[in-house]
Amino acid sequence: MVIRLSPEEVAARSRRNVWIGLALVAFVVLLFSTTFLRMQANQKAEREKEAVLAAGPMHPEKTYDSTLAR
């Protein structure tokens, strides 16, 4: 049994396929941009952490809380 589609059905199928393709592309772009922005935020936080560690320890009187020793 062969199913024959009318020209209107073929056109509707084609339009539907185009919209599904566009939705998939939009989803991939959304995932890519979200991942990219999260990676940038993590890199910035890592650079700030390294800068703090490279600056060295704070003044000794500020790093040790004498109230904890009691």
Sign of CA dihedral 37, 39, 40, 42: positive
Dist CA 20 CA 27 (whole Å): 11
- 5's CB contacts (< 8 A; 6+ apart) are 13
What is the pLDDT at residue 51? Answer: 87
What is the pLDDT at residue 66? Answer: 59
pLDDT digits (tens, 9 = 90+) for 21-56: 999 999 999 999 999 999 999 999 999 888 888 887
Between 56 and 19, the more confident residue is 19
Dist CA 6 CA 12 (whole Å): 10
In whole angstroms, what separates CA 24 from the centre of its chain?
17
